[in-house]
């Protein structure tokens, strides 16, 4: 099993997902690899007394491990990535209030004349599977629920900031990109050029402040190719759900994309005519608001497998 390590030299950080970076690893379909990831701050924060604005200098944030070249992959294939394991690689996590970034404040896009919120770093001790949240709060320890905030494949022409989610995956911040689940991504360039990073020890729906409990990780992934199976937007699957992720602004457009793709998937693979699928989703689907803070918002529409047609499952 090959082990892939990110480049820790800030000059070479991969902070965009696109076709212009040279692959750092070659992977065969069916192969399982081990990899390390830096946290969204490039592992540069270790204390609450550091000065956040010295460290976070947009767009040089959220460095990826990658790109990986998947052998034999061609435009129009679908990449399958089984998340086997996400292990937290250190004994603390970091979260932050980043001025002009977040879900309940003025931002670079929702521009306001109000004074920005003040930068602030939170350090959270992690001991085994439990997080001590800190700040003197009298609350119980919080179990970890680790996953990757960012996972994506190269678009054909664009190079997209690792702060952005989109049709290519990217910074979706969807807690369903977690151990046990399989993520399906579009292949738009030969070799895929897959990137991953942004480990989260735990995140609430919406990632409302703009940061999860950010950690470096060691993970294990298994890659496969489904040939000639173009998809427009990421899909996720586990024992309970088939899921689609839409990323857009306003948030209703993210939800529209997610449901549209889920409905067409139910039609194509499970034989439920699309208007019936639309109505059925209205009665049994679940929705996860993955993020409401990134350049695009991400919404996941989830169909429970227990209500799929019995013979087609």
Nearer to a copy of itself, 89 or 308 (CB): 308
Given the rule CB under 8 A, which of 76-84, 219-227, 235-243, 258-266 is the region that contacts a copy of itself? Answer: 258-266
Given the rule CB under 8 A, which of 22-30, 44-52, 220-228, 260-268 is the region that contacts a copy of itself? Answer: 260-268
- Output the DSSP codes for 45-68: ---TTS-HHHH--TTS-SPBEEEE
Nearer to a copy of itself, 27 or 163 (CB): 163
Nearer to a copy of itself, 54 or 57 (CB): 57
CA geometry: angle 271, 275, 278, nearest 5 deg: 90
Given the rule CB under 8 A, which of 11-19, 34-42, 63-71, 177-185 is the region that contacts a copy of itself? Answer: 11-19
If one asks whether residue 161 binds a copy of itself (CB under 8 A), the answer comes out as yes
**Contacts of a copy of itself in 77-96 (CB under 8 A):** 95
If one asks whether residue 285 binds a copy of itself (CB under 8 A), the answer comes out as yes
If one asks whether residue 206 binds a copy of itself (CB under 8 A), the answer comes out as yes
If one asks whether residue 113 binds a copy of itself (CB under 8 A), the answer comes out as yes
If one asks whether residue 75 binds a copy of itself (CB under 8 A), the answer comes out as no
Both tokens assigned to 270: 């499970």
Contact between 178 and 147 (Cβ < 8 Å): yes
If one asks whether residue 30 binds a copy of itself (CB under 8 A), the answer comes out as no
Both tokens assigned to 269: 């693979």
**Contacts of a copy of itself in 163-192 (CB under 8 A):** none
From the CB of 223, what's the least distance to a copy of itself, in Å? 25
**Contacts of a copy of itself in 36-65 (CB under 8 A):** 59-60
As a whole number of angstroms, the distance between CA 159 and CA 64 comes to 13
As a whole number of angstroms, the distance between CA 122 and CA 287 comes to 29
* 135 DSSP assignment: T
Given the rule CB under 8 A, which of 26-34, 62-70, 220-228, 303-311 is the region that contacts a copy of itself? Answer: 303-311
As a whole number of angstroms, the distance between CA 281 and CA 270 comes to 13
From the CB of 270, what's the least distance to a copy of itself, in Å? 9
Of 8, 156, 227, 240, the one binding a copy of itself (CB under 8 A) is 156
Q: Taking every pair of C-alpha atoms in the chain, what is the biggest distance, in angstroms?
A: 59
If one asks whether residue 239 binds a copy of itself (CB under 8 A), the answer comes out as no
Nearest to 206 by CA among 312, 104, 97, 291: 291
Contact between 288 and 259 (Cβ < 8 Å): no
Given the rule CB under 8 A, which of 1-9, 30-38, 75-83, 117-125 is the region that contacts a copy of itself? Answer: 117-125
- Output the DSSP codes for 73-116: --TT-EEEEEEEEEEE-SSEEEEEE-TT-SSSS--SSS--SSPP
As a whole number of angstroms, the distance between CA 21 and CA 13 comes to 10
Given the rule CB under 8 A, which of 23-31, 33-41, 79-87, 113-121 is the region that contacts a copy of itself? Answer: 113-121
């Amino acid at each position: 099993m090959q082990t892939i390590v990110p480049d820790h030299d800030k000059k070479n950080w991969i902070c965009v997902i696109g076709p212009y970076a040279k692959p750092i690893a070659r992977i065969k379909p069916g192969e399982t690899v081990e990899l390390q990831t830096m946290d969204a701050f490039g592992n540069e924060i270790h204390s609450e007394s550091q000065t956040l604005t010295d460290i976070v200098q947009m767009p040089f944030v959220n460095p990826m491990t990658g790109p990986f070249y998947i052998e034999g992959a061609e435009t129009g294939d679908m990449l399958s990535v089984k998340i086997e394991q996400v292990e937290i690689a250190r004994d603390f996590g970091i979260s932050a209030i980043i001025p002009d970034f977040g879900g309940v404040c003025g931002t670079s896009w929702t521009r306001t004349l109000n004074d920005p919120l003040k930068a602030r770093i939170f350090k959270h001790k992690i001991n085994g599977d439990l997080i001590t949240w800190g700040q003197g709060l009298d609350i119980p320890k919080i179990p970890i629920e680790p996953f990757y905030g960012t996972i994506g494949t190269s678009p054909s022409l664009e190079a997209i900031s690792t702060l952005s989610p989109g049709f290519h995956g990217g910074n979706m911040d969807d807690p369903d990109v977690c151990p046990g689940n399989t993520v399906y991504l579009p292949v738009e360039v030969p070799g895929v050029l897959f990137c991953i990073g942004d480990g989260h020890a735990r995140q609430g729906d919406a990632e409302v402040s703009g940061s999860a409990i950010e950690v470096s990780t060691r993970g294990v992934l298994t890659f496969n190719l489904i040939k000639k199976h173009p998809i427009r937007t990421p899909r996720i699957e586990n024992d309970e759900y088939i899921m689609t992720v839409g990323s857009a602004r306003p948030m209703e457009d993210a939800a529209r994309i997610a449901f549209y793709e889920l409905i067409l998937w139910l039609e194509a693979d499970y034989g439920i005519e699309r208007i019936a699928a639309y109505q059925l989703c209205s009665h049994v689907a679940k929705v996860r608001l993955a993020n409401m803070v990134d350049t695009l918002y991400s919404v996941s529409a989830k169909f429970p497998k227990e209500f799929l047609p019995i013979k087609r499952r």
